[in-house]
A and B are shown apart, each in its own frame.
Chain A
């Protein structure tokens, strides 16, 4: 665990955003929680990071974080990538909060691409950085029309995409940002997490918040909410599986990344969730990669 309790510097307000902006964002969050899966517009602010670096997630985190919080930031499951490190540093500097890499020690987890393997608890909040919040956008470019489709729960067309997958590949090929129906009502984009993580969203104990900076949208899935992945009766939803186990910790039930090990096409599979993998190793688990 890294402790970074520097005080706010550079004359910024706590957690960078001014209090009025935070209140505006919190109102959007409250509305989002009240209407699970529904995208709520908000007045997204310029952040000292470019879009695509998680400005939506950062604004959500900035609006909910308090001095007592402990923040974890992951990118592709890892805590030590550039993006994760700079966001963690940003909050350590502007809010002076404690940060951690340990999933169970965090009160807020900001993420891009993954949900931690460790089951989240009801005193935690997970904040997703979302590039494209509108799951219908790929087939309907008009915002007025997608809003109407949400209003009428007119979602049949979403299956056209899955149909197209099966027609082309023989199975549902969509493996990231796999569309879900939240609480039996709103069609929602889970952000670019692998479909491996979709089942974790279902009835999750933690509050799930989603922030899209460029698109200026916030949405939420309250704790213990039904989240169903769309599918066909004869092609049911199935998460990714691997023939391999993690070469480092031997885990057979985690999301694995393939890592190239040499110039001769050699590779091995390792946990994408570095915290999970590290803890398993600390507990004495071993893979057969080293």
Chain B
């Protein structure tokens, strides 16, 4: 968790009034929050509640209809994310940020090997020594507990859980400070899910990563996130420390959500 000493004087990411509509339909509305260094924020809510929309806006994959997003750069400068140039935005996304998609196909290049997938970010920012790239790739595949024999295999030859591990390594290889994840364990078998969650928890802890994790699975939220935001119909109905929200929900919708999980 966050202990006072590690916290610097400004949030890593600040969202204010993030609103996005698809024509007449609201995707998410008026979302405010601060994400502090080392903090993992969970976003939960039923299907269609706006979790993915919000995550895409926060990760600048999508431009919201309105709102402001501020990110504190390594230099300490505050970047107005939506005002960055395309080149600056790309640089940020491949160095300081990561994005783990629910479907590994959206986050991997299926046509090149696992190793090439993991090494891509390094090359994208100018690494030009094959041996050094290879070493880092090997290191990262090891850290996500991949069989190193498979380094030159195509992701299409991997199971879903393995693909997800490669996707995680591909993001973390650049040493990002902030990672966005959309249902990172969705679509996986329960046992595979559990191992992946362990891995994710270990990595975020060890690296002191900040993360925003979208999930509709409250068990995943409880395991990974320090703080929780509950969404309904595009709006945040409740937010707070994960344990507090889940053990003592204040909003009627959260109470329903928690109880329906307990029932299943």
Is there a chain B Cβ closer than 8 Å to A139's Cβ?
yes
Q: Please name all residues of chain B whose beta carbon is closer than 8 Å to the beta carbon of A152 when the two chains form the complex.
A: 86-87, 90
Interface of B is mostly: helix
A196 at the A/B interface (Cβ < 8 Å)? no
A contact residues around B119 at 8 Å (CB)? 160, 163
Q: Tell me the chain B residues, 120-154 only, with Cβ under 8 Å from chain A.
A: 120, 123-126, 128-131, 133-134, 151-152
Q: Chain B residues with Cβ under 8 A from A168's Cβ? A: 113, 152
Q: Which residues of A contact B129 (CB under 8 A)?
A: 232-234
A154 to B86 alpha-carbon distance, docked (Å): 11
Q: How far is the CA of A199 from the CA of B128 in the complex (A)?
A: 20
Question: In this assembly, does B111 line the interface, its C-beta being within 8 Å of a C-beta of chain A?
Answer: yes
CA distance A64 to B151 in the complex (A): 51
Verify if A45 is at the interface (C-beta below 8 Å from B).
Answer: no
Task: Write the nearest CB–CB distance from A76 to chain B, whole angstroms.
Answer: 29
Kindly state whether residue A282 has any CB partner on chain B within 8 Å. Answer: no
User: What B residues does A166 contact at CB under 8 A?
Assistant: 130
Chain B nearest CB from A157 CB (Å) reads 6
The answer to whether A232 and B130 have CB atoms under 8 Å apart is yes
- B111 CB contacts on chain A under 8 angstroms: 139
Q: Which of A47-80 contact B (CB under 8 A)?
A: none
Other-chain residue from B115, B124, B151 in contact with A156 (beta carbon distance below 8 A): B124
> Once the chains bind, are A164 and B113 in contact (CB under 8 Å)?
yes
Q: Is the CB of B152 within 8 A of A167?
A: yes
Taking CB atoms, residues of chain A closer than 8 Å to B109 are: 139, 160
A159 touches B152 (CB 8 A): no
Cβ of B112 within 8 Å of any chain A Cβ, yes or no, is: yes
Q: Determine the interface band of chain B, counting residues with CB < 8 A from chain A.
A: 20 to 34
- A234 B123 Cβ-Cβ under 8 A: no
Task: Give per-residue flags for A230-270: 1 if the beta carbon is below 8 A from chain B beta carbons, else 0.
Answer: 00111100000000000000000000000000000000000
Residue A148 at the B interface, CB < 8 A?
yes
* In the complex with contacts A139-B111, A164-B112, A157-B128 CB distance below 8 A: no
Given contacts A139-B111, A152-B86, A166-B130, contact A157 B152 (CB under 8 A): no
What CA separation (Å) do A154 and B116 show in the bound complex?
A: 17
* Cα distance, A166 to B130, chains bound together (Å): 8
Shortest B230–chain A CB gap in Å is 36
CB-CB under 8 A for A232 and B124, given A139-B112, A152-B87, A164-B113: no
Contact B116 A156, beta carbon cutoff 8 Å: no
- A156 x B123 contact (CB < 8 A): yes
Q: Is the CB of B133 within 8 A of A163?
A: yes
A sample of 6 inter-chain contacts (CB < 8 A) reads: A139-B111, A156-B120, A164-B113, A167-B113, A167-B116, A168-B152
| Interface positions of B (Cβ within 8 A of A) | 86-87, 90, 109, 111-113, 115-116, 119-120, 123-126, 128-131, 133-134, 151-152
Q: Besides the contacts A157-B124, A163-B119, A234-B129, what 17 more A-B pairs have beta carbons closer than 8 Å?
A: A139-B111, A152-B86, A152-B87, A154-B90, A156-B124, A156-B126, A157-B123, A160-B123, A161-B112, A163-B133, A166-B130, A167-B116, A167-B134, A167-B152, A232-B129, A233-B128, A233-B130
Top-6 shortest CB links A-B:
A156-B124, A159-B123, A232-B130, A156-B123, A233-B129, A152-B87
